[in-house]
Amino acid sequence: MKRSVALLISAIIGLIYGIYIISYFVDINASSSSTSDIIGSGIATALVLPHMIFVLIAVIFNIISWAINSRPFALTAGILYSVSALLFILYALFVVPSIVLSFVGFAKLKKIIEYNKQEKTEE
């Protein structure tokens, strides 16, 4: 069974970025010592939290779309990555590769699904 390489790469990039951003903000919050540091890191985390949530949900949809060759899941992943970029523009650069690869994978999935159906009927 053939699968989309673009979706796999997008999922890997998104997962690495998701793990990085979560560990970064957990480390910032854990290393805060003074009251002003705690307040500042809390505000920063609150501002970035919607972006992190949308990235992680997009990664889940991306992995599912790759695993079951589902176009709707791939489209949803691309849209969720785009929304996460809009939610926090400063970190949009980090999700652009996942956005592009998700939409490329979505477009190529049509041919992959047809190829898999054709391969299945030949057996």
- Computed over its alpha carbons, how large is the radius of gyration of the chain? 18
Q: What percent of the chain has pLDDT over 90?
A: 86
- All residues at 6 or more sequence positions from 64 whose CB lies less than 8 Å from its CB, including other chains: 70, 73
- Domain range summary for the chain, segments of one domain joined by +: 5-122
- Tell me the H-state helices in 31-91: 35-68, 71-87
Tokens of 123: 């057996």
- Other Cβ atoms less than 10 A from the Cβ of 49: the count is 13
Residue type at 16 in one-letter notation: I
What percent of the chain is predicted at pLDDT more than 70? 99
* pLDDT at residue 103 is higher than 90: yes
pTM of the model: 0.91
pLDDT the model gives residue 31: 87
Instruction: Quote the tokens at residue 80.
Output: 């969720």
